A and B are shown apart, each in its own frame.
Chain A
Amino acid sequence: MAVEVKLPTLLRVHAGGAASVDAEGSTIGEVFSDLTARFPALKGNLVDDGGSLHKFVNVYRNDDDIRYLEALDTKVADGDVISILPAVAGG
């Protein structure tokens, strides 16, 4: 499946400055693997050491937060837009 991945300002530097990149995969996890194969510096920002979605990043398939779907196993379809936003948090 071919999807568009929208990157937040913070991560664009790791993808040659691109705000949006195309990627392939059947699930979000596969899309991330495709992305990080091409842009290795993105990996540590998207998944943690255990291979799960990083705590400080939100990922949406179209308008849905994947944490409320199947997380990295969430299936994607042709033309889906995957948006990545840093978590807004503090204390």
Chain B
Amino acid sequence: MPFVAPTLRLSLAQYRGILAHCYDGLPQEACGLLGGPVDTAGESLGEVSVIYPCANSDQSARTYTVDSRDLLQAMRDAESRGEELVGVWHSHTHTDAYPSDTDVRQAMEPGWIYAIVSLKHADPVLRAYRIRDGRTEEVDVDVAGL
């Protein structure tokens, strides 16, 4: 499949919702899922219709696992809307917004966008990536109105 990088497009409300969820999760890593349209190959187009804040079942400041019940519920909701899960976000409480070795190793969905929110500095930083076959490529992030 061609490695075409879309732009992650978020509304201001979605962006604020993601950041709020990350701050609410402190001191642990927070995570959530993104729902939206896909292309004919099943890959994210970068558009996000719904954000799904989820529980981190690891309850850890260093790792995350999206709670399995939240995962199923988000998937069912996206499908009911004729869409799919297209990505995931999680927070890095003390490191930069770049995929860790763990993130790369556990990235199972080549068509998804992986967003990371760093809370390392006074201001949060959100960056996004495609991760496939051990290769990481950053994608642009566009927040409407920001």
Chain B interface (Cβ < 8 Å from any Cβ of A): 29, 31, 33, 42, 58, 60, 62-66, 68-69, 71-72, 75, 88, 90, 99-100, 102-103, 106-109, 111, 114
Contact = CB atoms under 8 A, between A and B. Distances in A.
Interface of A: 9-10, 56, 58, 60, 63, 65, 67, 83, 85-91
Contacts, number: 62
Contact of A91 (B33, B42, B62, B68): B62
15 contacts: A9-B42, A56-B106, A56-B108, A63-B72, A67-B68, A85-B72, A87-B65, A88-B33, A88-B108, A88-B109, A89-B64, A89-B65, A89-B66, A90-B103, A90-B114
Contacts of A63: 72
Contacts of A87: 65-66, 68, 106, 108
B102 A88 contact: no
Given A88-B66, A90-B103, A91-B63, A60 B109 contact: no
Contact of B29 (A65, A86, A91): A91
A88 B31 CA distance: 10
A10 B69 CA distance: 20
A90 B57 CA distance: 12
A91 B102 contact: yes
A90 B107 contact: yes
A89 B63 contact: yes
A85 B76 CA distance: 12
A72 to B, nearest CB: 15
Nearest to B56: A89
A90 B68 contact: no
B44 to A, nearest CB: 13
A90 B74 CA distance: 18
